[in-house]
Structure 1
């Protein structure tokens, strides 16, 4: 039975209350499955709203920091239980708002529950080490202290998991939060915030402000009372965040996408490789920073792999993500769809051969949404734009190489370095790939997309600011080390 998402205006949450913006502008969040449906109305908040949220977080930071870690963790455990109880509602909202299929949305929401529980447990783990002193009467140790107020800026493609994997560690390590979600996923984000609010977080600890990047996002960058900024999004905006934070001495963490390769070695299990390539490239309509974009295949198996790949791609069912059996939903917005279509044209202009898909879909109601066929290009060379630039859509570039060494060199020949995978049964191939691939996440006989929540996640080169998210590695960003020396009389 379908859950009705009422068309209402979602407010800001500041200093323990849901409040209207000081401005009057409202935008609409549109269903990409059917652009005639408004999922919710959203405030375009002002700099004044943002500053009020920061002040609330600043006022709350001392009392929150002084709570025992276990007590902070109890709030996250409660939030996890609430999110779990609302999983179906939030997952359906996600599908309606950004187009991800319902099974994927449920999986992401369940991951949000697991993230909250994982970080709740961090409240009982160690925060420092004892270090030997050269002074026989001295005692030296380290502890970790929170940054203070943390600004959280998140994208639309994972509207539950990414906010939670930033907010949960920020809170458990003693920080207060000001959260700005992407405009295309505000309703889903608001429902996540409601779970944290209903868990009873003290006033000012969690603050939520909707609006444009130019106003609210820039306000987070500029506000002197925000000590740290964690951002996931585009390369251009990430640079702006990093430069602004650096200029005023704030700590920053950036995750900015990838151009992720999969290498198919000549000894690979081709059926496994095809399944992994399709899943990595086309799940979530290719709208993952870890999505497979370049498919690098050794020449001996190139044609066989291509035939198997095309046979499977042609069987992908595309449609409204709420419908049973649909495997791939729409692009998240009309703008994203236009970006993907423009790159398909660039591929053709540069001389690549489009051998499947790449058209906007119409008929059977699909013309109401932002649907596109998965696109497969053949004959792609390294200088082509579709081989170098992030597309963030269901487009893959097939590239032929004569050896694994050539494949690794090709895989490394882009500005990004987020994730990569290889399919091979040769142990030396695996070892060479793991050693030589310039990426923060490498996977063997598995798709390029995906990382377990207890493991560090982040990229190399232009993909990140070289910090890591998730797992216990999150502690490195959200805290600072304090060294303590104690001397007796």
Structure 2
């Protein structure tokens, strides 16, 4: 396995460099804590230094020439093997994920299986075309395009989807001929080690995939500024993403940033309100609201606001908060103390700004949950678009209700934010649908479906401050992980 256990059976996780598991040179570690019970340590993970990062980059650089010479089909075969291993280990990886960041076990296992599906999808991409023949003005010449890998790719991934997000970055990077240095979030690095073990056991050559665990300040920023890393793909907060982008830009490296969202759902007066309520609850509260595509703003036409509000509150009050390993739990804790404190601060701020807290927002009274970062889902109404709870990403189970007097105003309110990741509408009116599709400033728009989620074969990314305007997933991934090379041949 990728780790050893200490005297009390708490795993000690190592970095993965050049095909080997190695501890931080000075032995420094972080404790990964179970957010459902902060007295439980899930594992100890390395607090790595720049020296370990240098070793990983050197290994990736050494491996990249031989790796890019393999055919796409050969690289894809290894991804198929990793997918099979991830699928076999889905229960174990899922339970570890639940213990590390709190989402319910069914969600965690489902995410792991999605990771396996992503690996299979990109394994198949190894057999697709990588260029086109172009007619030359010279009748005796052949001209065509092909694709060249970037080289060494740095992957910086967050804690909220510790399997799916890194896999949808690592898999295309590898299949298109790059080598990888991956920095997972420290909060979910035990889970990350199990993902990397799948790559190791699948037989990837030494140095092709590397994992360095450590602080964002040291390892994350080190990846962004390292001259031996040719491309950086990042998912996380806007503040950190901009730092990563600036560091990459300063040295001319290619970068891809997926950042925050303040995603709206519009509920038209003709909507099926029961379905709209299900979408608002699932999209906004499932996974404890810790999705970049989570519903945060619920914009409702005034004629149906009271009926929608009553149905929403009735549904929210049935949701069971608890440990994600308990089968009856609907939503688990916030992923860590910092995130719980952030959610609490926004709830207080919403009240201070004049929004009305209709329900929730506090810790559960159940003494069995006292040692976890739990919060009862919060619902605000009388929210205006200029309030912080309507403008800033909370990343927690908080829904804000905003009334609109018309569909035109609803779309204007939906666009009234610096973010533009995802948005949805519930309506039966084709005119509303077309207006929403054409006028909504978001990279993902969904009709009669929740804001959260995108199919793995479809491009994913945001507009405005949600993204650096590139796209992840699907066939769009090749645009970031490769460069077009034009070839002209004359006899």
TM range (shorter): over 0.9
Q: CA offsets, 1:167-214, max 9 Å, x none? A: 000000000000000111100011000001100000100100000011
Residue 290 (str. 1) matches residue 293 (str. 2): yes
- Residue aligned with 1:23, SS: coil
Distance 1:23 1:47 in 2: 12
Distance 1:7 1:254 in 2: 34
Residue 347 (str. 1) matches residue 350 (str. 2): yes
Instruction: Name the structure 2 match of 1:362.
Output: 365
Residue 198 (str. 1) matches residue 195 (str. 2): no
Instruction: Name the structure 2 match of 1:331.
Output: 334
Distance 1:465 1:443 in 2: 21
**Cα deviation, residue 276, structure 1:** 0.5
Residue 449 (str. 1) matches residue 442 (str. 2): no
Q: CA offsets, 1:284-304, max 9 Å, x none? A: 000000000000000110000
Matches within 5 A, 1:57-136: 57-136=60-139
Instruction: Name the structure 1 match of 2:482.
Output: 479
Instruction: Name the structure 1 match of 2:14.
Output: 11
Distance 1:9 1:445 in 2: 46
**Cα deviation, residue 10, structure 1:** 0.3
2:184 to 178, 181, 186: 181
Q: Which runs of 5+ in 2 are unaligned?
A: none
Residue 374 (str. 1) matches residue 372 (str. 2): no
Residue 42 (str. 1) matches residue 45 (str. 2): yes
**Cα deviation, residue 24, structure 1:** 2.5
**Cα deviation, residue 417, structure 1:** 0.1
Q: CA offsets, 1:352-379, max 9 Å, x none? A: 0000000022324101100000000010
Distance 1:362 1:87 in 2: 33
- Residue aligned with 1:397, SS: strand
1:169 to 162, 172, 180: 172
Q: What is the TM-score normalised by the length of structure 2?
A: 0.98
Matches within 5 A, 1:140-289: 140-289=143-292
Q: CA offsets, 1:450-477, max 9 Å, x none? A: 0000000000000000000000000000
Instruction: Name the structure 2 match of 1:305.
Output: 308
Distance 1:22 1:104 in 2: 36
- Residue aligned with 1:36, SS: strand
Distance 1:145 1:283 in 2: 40
- Residue aligned with 2:182, SS: strand
Q: CA offsets, 1:421-462, max 9 Å, x none? A: 000001111111001000000000000000000000000000
Give the aligned CA root-mean-square deviation in angstroms.
0.7
Distance 2:24 2:109 in 1: 31
Distance 1:153 1:92 in 2: 23
1:28 to 27, 31, 53: 31
Q: What is the TM-score normalised by the length of structure 1?
A: 0.98
Distance 2:245 2:487 in 1: 30
Q: Which runs of 5+ in 1 are unaligned?
A: none
Question: How many residues are aligned here?
Answer: 484
- Residue aligned with 1:368, SS: coil
**Cα deviation, residue 221, structure 1:** 1.1
**Cα deviation, residue 106, structure 1:** 1.0
